[in-house]
Structure 1
Amino acid sequence: MKYIIGTILGAIILLGISFFVKRKFFSEIDQLESWKIEVMNRPVLDEVTKIKQLNMSGETEQYFERWRKTWDEVVTVDLPEVEELLFDAEEYVEKFRFKKAKDTFVQIEDTLKKAETKIDEMIKELNKIIESEAQNRQDFLDLQDTFKLLKKNLLAHRHVFGKSASHLERLLSYVSDQFEMYQKESEQGNYLTAREILLDTKEKLQNIEKKMEMIPLLINDCEHNIPSQLKEIKDGISEMEKEGYYLEHIGLDKELAKIEKQLNHYQELIEKTEVDECSSGIEDIKDSLNLMYDLLEAEVHSKQFIQKNEEPTVKRIDQLIEETRSLQEEVTDVKSAYHLSDADENLTKQLEERLLTMKKTIAILSGEAQPKSAYSAIREKLEGIIGELEEIEKEQQKFKEKLQTLRKDEIDAREKIKELKYLVQETKRLISRSNVPGIPLHIETLFLEATESVEDCFVQLEKKPLVMTAVQQTLKKAEEVVNQLHQQVNEMVENVFFIEKIIQYGNRYRSQHPEIHKQLLSAEDAFRRYDYGQALEEAASAVESVEPGALKKIEAIINEEINGDK
């Protein structure tokens, strides 16, 4: 019984699943059916009939026939095929042949997509022809207006176009022929071909319009502006040469002849209305002319510069020569007292030679200016000389300061030696005032070394000629030794005073602490031998061992005494 019930339940479940699957497939069949009806109901014929408003001949007639055949194919072949496939799909679903049904769905979708593509292409081509016809009519009117305006302008102002007027007429005549071609193609229903003709005509009219705008300007440049500038430059060259200018280095004659030849060529191009090449060439000529003006102007400015600066420069050279010779006398004086390097001794001689060479150069340039040298070249050399003079002035000033520094360094060194000698004496007096029982050997040695170092400085200062580098070296050594001596003596005096205070403080513990008494005796012994470092170490160790922190107390007592004395 259980097996029977299980089998029945299984069958019911399978029937339920099959019911839902079939329902899903039938739903997809309904969607495909709706798609088919939508394709079938597309208003293709209404769209196609729009073209009947145009001339039904030529391209239009050919397109119409092709569209009609395509639509017939969709209606009589594609859609019936879809209908048959839908019927097959229903049958497959009824028989639970779902895979077969899916394959059929794919065929239906592919057929409907192809049918829609055919229809879309038909509509696209249709709209293209209709839009071309409408756009053609408007463009034709606009282009005719442009054509009439250009023709009118050519007739009214023919003289401004010179010999190019005939070529422009031929170009406009060709445009007129294209208008006739356009109308012929339109009447024959070839609207797309007519569209291409109009676009080509539009481009040609734009080109003609551009030519007619540029040609009068180019003619004016070739026949008036540039020839006028050429004459102006030639006259300018002739006048400048009479005034003594040397202009052969610029090579203007060859360039002017080249430009005149180019102008003839560009006038021929203008006659042929080849404005682009002509315009580019004329711009190059204008650049060349501007360069010529700049070169001639540079020669004029160079001459003015030379006239303004030549004499002052010569005077400045003479002045610097005098200053250099004066500086040489100062060097001679300094050499008697100070040692100078070979470079320092020869500097003034070298400066004078450079200045004399510059003076000769200016004299030569002035002599060659008529008529062998361009003023621009002379100016360049004169500017170089002026710049070199500035460098010589800087060298002179720097050397003067160096000589002055030698004297100043000597004075400073003598003053520094006095200070060091005084510091050694003060250090000795410090020892005397402090009642130090004796001086350790290393300090006595420092005293001797310090005294000898200071004496070495005096010896170097008395040498003739004086070598300041040697003075400064001995002075540096003396300063280090004297400062070291003064520092160590200060430390020694402070230590002696501190040791005495520590021993005095530690005496209170001698009777009760034999070990402290013994350490203090050892410290006193070291003190009498002038070994103040050892004495301080043992005395401090003894007091701190019995009374930690005692050294700080002693320092405080010493500070109170010092402040009280102040």
Structure 2
Amino acid sequence: EEYLFDAEDAADRFRVPTANRILETAEKILNDTEKVIENMYSELDDLLDSEKQSRKIAEEVVPHIRSLRNLLLQDLYAYGSAEARFEEEINKCQLKLEHFYYETEQGNYYEAHQIITNLQQELNDLEERLETFPAIYRQCKIELPDQIHQLKNGIEQMKADGYQIEHHNFQKELRDLEEQLSVYVTRIEEQDDQTVFDFVATIDERISEIYHILEEESKARNYVDKHLQNFEKLIEEVVDEFKLTDEEVTELQKTYYLEGSDLELYENLEKWIHQLERQHMKIKQDLADEQQTYTALKDELETNYQDLQKLKEAHQEFKEQISTIRKDEIEAKEKITVLKRDLFEVNRHIEKSNLPGIPSFIWNQMDDASEKCERVLEKLAEEPLDMGQVSHCLNEATSSVETLIKQTETMMEQAYLIERIIQYANRYRSQYPVLSARLSEAEKLFRECQYEQSLEIASESLEEVEPGALRRLEVKINVKIPS
């Protein structure tokens, strides 16, 4: 109003600029005041809304406190000594509720709202702890101690039954766990401790592990009781079989020479059998002395079974190996008979060939093949028979005879081709003096048993006067002419 009066006074005095400035100031003040009033209304609305929300939460909190108290009273034994601290927490929540009502009556709606929302969260947290406590408390106080007690009794019974499990030191470990459980029971009765959940899980897992170890020990005992005698029977069978093999080897050595590798394998088999016998006796002694766990004995017995199987396979392989010695001798005799027959056939074929002569390298190769065949027969007649030497000499003889056959066949083909080429080329002799001279040279080499050189000269000479003649001649006589 004061600004308005000043503006009116300035206008009356015709002081227009001053009046305008005063009016602008007054307008700004009015706008600011209007904003303040709007903010006050907004805060009032928020306050009223907060009070409304608080009343709604309080309506939920009251029965919530009552339900938690009932939950606690329904089974006080489930909470043990912790019942007192939970009751105290509920009472504190009740006091906070009363404080909420007091602040509300005093008009401190914001403070009251903060109290009731915090209280609601505390009650939710308390409810969760009240619901989870009985189970974890029962585990620590009753269930796990009972399980440990039963496990300790089971361990003592297994020890009485002859199980060697002292080295695990389970009894001390379980006593320590019992003491830790007792400490945790006292601790969670006095205050919340989230580490108890991890501890309980660890104990539960460890109990399962111990049961598993004991179960495996029991299974191992059943395995040892069931398979130990059977293994002894199997190794006796192997020993008996090896005695037969030993007798067979003794007989073989009278007739055959055994390779060093064969004898080494035989000696290793014998050592292997003795080693398995010693290992078996050790298991029996450990079992009698009660110094080993059944799990360890089972592992040793399983290893022995695997070794025994490998021994039987090696023994069978050795028997098959020595059994082939006689068969190899028979096959060698049959093979040398065939080679001797091949030599005879080659010689007969040469004699019937009507060739002007036989190159010296053919006779040399025949002599070499004959000598090597005789060498095989000499080796077969030796005692003891060394099949290694026989096989070596037989391979040499086979190679020599095969070389002789190939050389002889080549010589025969060359001689046949020379005759056919010269017969074919004779038609040109009168026309081509050079050809005639070359053919005469080829005929001379043919008579001197130089069939390869003769064939080369005859072929080249014919091809010079009639290109393609050799190829046509090949087709006609169905023989490949060397180029």
The bucket for the TM-score relative to the shorter chain is: 0.7 to 0.9
- Corresponding position of 1:104: none
- Corresponding position of 2:288: 367
Q: 1:498 to 1:148 in 2, by over 3 A?
A: farther
> Which segment drifts farther, 136-145 or 270-279?
136-145
Residue 457 of structure 1 pairs with residue 449 of structure 2: no
- Corresponding position of 1:221: 139
Deviation at 1:327, TM superposition (A): 1.6
* 1:246-261 equivalent positions in 2, closer than 5 A: 246-261=164-179
Counterpart Cα distance in 1 of 2:205 and 2:299: 25
1:155 to 73, 81, 96: 73
- Corresponding position of 2:277: 356
Counterpart Cα distance in 2 of 1:404 and 1:486: 34
Q: 1:522 to 1:277 in 2, by over 3 A?
A: same
* 1:21-420 equivalent positions in 2, closer than 5 A: 48=39, 49-55=41-47, 146-177=64-95, 179=97, 187-188=107-108, 190=110, 194=113, 201=119, 204-336=122-254, 337-341=256-260, 342-369=263-290, 372-420=291-339
Residue 541 of structure 1 pairs with residue 460 of structure 2: yes
Counterpart Cα distance in 2 of 1:400 and 1:468: 16
TM-score w.r.t. structure 1 length? Answer: 0.70
Instruction: For structure 1, list consecutive stretches of 5 or more residues without a partner in the other structure.
Output: 1-39, 57-129, 561-566
Cα-to-partner distance string for 1:389-413 (whole Å, 9 max, x where unaligned): 2222122122212212333333333
Deviation at 1:340, TM superposition (A): 3.1
The one-letter code matched in structure 1 to 2:309 is: E
Asked if the contact 1:324/1:351 (under 8 Å) is kept, the reply is: no
SS in 2 for 1:54: helix
Q: 1:44 to 1:135 in 2, by over 3 A?
A: farther
The one-letter code matched in structure 2 to 1:315 is: K
Asked if the contact 1:183/1:194 (under 8 Å) is kept, the reply is: no
Deviation at 1:133, TM superposition (A): 8.0
Deviation at 1:464, TM superposition (A): 3.0
Q: 1:176 to 1:409 in 2, by over 3 A?
A: farther
> Which segment drifts farther, 302-311 or 273-282?
273-282
- Corresponding position of 2:28: none
Counterpart Cα distance in 2 of 1:473 and 1:465: 16
Counterpart Cα distance in 2 of 1:237 and 1:144: 54
Asked if the contact 2:259/2:388 (under 8 Å) is kept, the reply is: no
Counterpart Cα distance in 1 of 2:38 and 2:393: 116
The share of aligned pairs that are identical, in percent, is: 30
SS in 1 for 2:377: helix
- Corresponding position of 2:361: 442
Asked if the contact 1:443/1:485 (under 8 Å) is kept, the reply is: yes
Counterpart Cα distance in 1 of 2:61 and 2:282: 74
Asked if the contact 2:269/2:311 (under 8 Å) is kept, the reply is: no
Q: 1:318 to 1:363 in 2, by over 3 A?
A: same
> Which segment drifts farther, 383-392 or 461-470?
461-470
How many residues are paired up? 441
Asked if the contact 1:151/1:172 (under 8 Å) is kept, the reply is: yes
Counterpart Cα distance in 2 of 1:438 and 1:50: 138
Q: 1:147 to 1:500 in 2, by over 3 A?
A: farther
Asked if the contact 1:54/1:189 (under 8 Å) is kept, the reply is: no
Counterpart Cα distance in 2 of 1:135 and 1:458: 120
Counterpart Cα distance in 2 of 1:141 and 1:544: 127
Q: 1:271 to 1:497 in 2, by over 3 A?
A: same
Deviation at 1:244, TM superposition (A): 2.9
Asked if the contact 1:523/1:536 (under 8 Å) is kept, the reply is: yes
Instruction: For structure 2, list consecutive stretches of 5 or more residues without a partner in the other structure.
Output: 1-30
Counterpart Cα distance in 1 of 2:408 and 2:166: 87
Asked if the contact 1:506/1:543 (under 8 Å) is kept, the reply is: yes
- Corresponding position of 1:559: 478
Deviation at 1:271, TM superposition (A): 0.5
Deviation at 1:230, TM superposition (A): 2.4
Cα-to-partner distance string for 1:174-206 (whole Å, 9 max, x where unaligned): 444555666777853547x955x6675565444
SS in 1 for 2:478: helix
Asked if the contact 1:269/1:278 (under 8 Å) is kept, the reply is: no
Deviation at 1:488, TM superposition (A): 1.9
1:431 to 319, 336, 350: 350
Asked if the contact 2:266/2:318 (under 8 Å) is kept, the reply is: no
Counterpart Cα distance in 2 of 1:333 and 1:258: 70
Q: 1:390 to 1:183 in 2, by over 3 A?
A: farther
Counterpart Cα distance in 1 of 2:125 and 2:352: 114
